[in-house]
A = this chain, B = another copy of it.
Amino acid sequence: MIVSAKGRYALRVMIALAARGGNAPVPLKELAEEEDIPHKFSEQIMTELAKAGLVESVRGKNGGYMLARSPKDCTAADVLRVTETSLAAAECTEKNGCPRAQICPTLPMWKALDEAMEELLKKYTLADLCSHE
């Protein structure tokens, strides 16, 4: 019941990107150093974020990454949905989660927990986080 380092790194990079304003692509090396994230690991993360459409990449010299949307239109939930294997609180609520689904008394609770987490994470946009709210 814990967000992975990958997820935390991803969020921090996204916030750092948001803080830059977003006119020019920012080289990842810079962001990774700034955020104390292993550079090679951060590359893997950014590739995922790029595929998910949250950032855009510019290859070649003077390249880097830019946010694909305005910071106020990208939430923590958006980022974590990409990096985390699952945002579900328990396997139970995932597809083919559990054969006992029909009779399990705990399932509604896990669903409620999923919703509560999602609701909260959707409230935090990069713009919010950027202003150190």
Tell yes or no: A33 within 8 A of B by CB: no
Among B1, B86, B91, B105, which residue has its beta carbon within 8 angstroms of that of A86? B1
List chain B residues, Cβ under 8 A from A63: none
Tell yes or no: A24 within 8 A of B by CB: no
User: Judging by beta carbons under 8 Å apart, are A87 and B8 in contact?
Assistant: no
CA distance in complex: A27, B105 (Å): 21
Measured CB to CB, the closest approach of chain B to A67, in angstroms, equals 15
Residues 1-39 of A at the B interface (beta carbon under 8 Å) = 1-5, 7-8, 11-12, 15, 36
List chain B residues, Cβ under 8 A from A73: none
User: Judging by beta carbons under 8 Å apart, are A84 and B116 in contact?
Assistant: no
Tell yes or no: A45 within 8 A of B by CB: no
Tell yes or no: A58 within 8 A of B by CB: no
8 A-B contacts (beta carbon < 8 Å): A2-B89, A5-B91, A8-B91, A8-B106, A36-B100, A76-B109, A89-B117, A105-B133
Given contacts A1-B1, A113-B120, 20 further A-B contacts (CB under 8 A): A1-B3, A1-B7, A1-B86, A1-B87, A2-B88, A2-B90, A2-B91, A3-B89, A3-B110, A8-B106, A12-B106, A15-B105, A15-B106, A76-B106, A105-B132, A105-B133, A106-B129, A109-B121, A109-B124, A116-B120
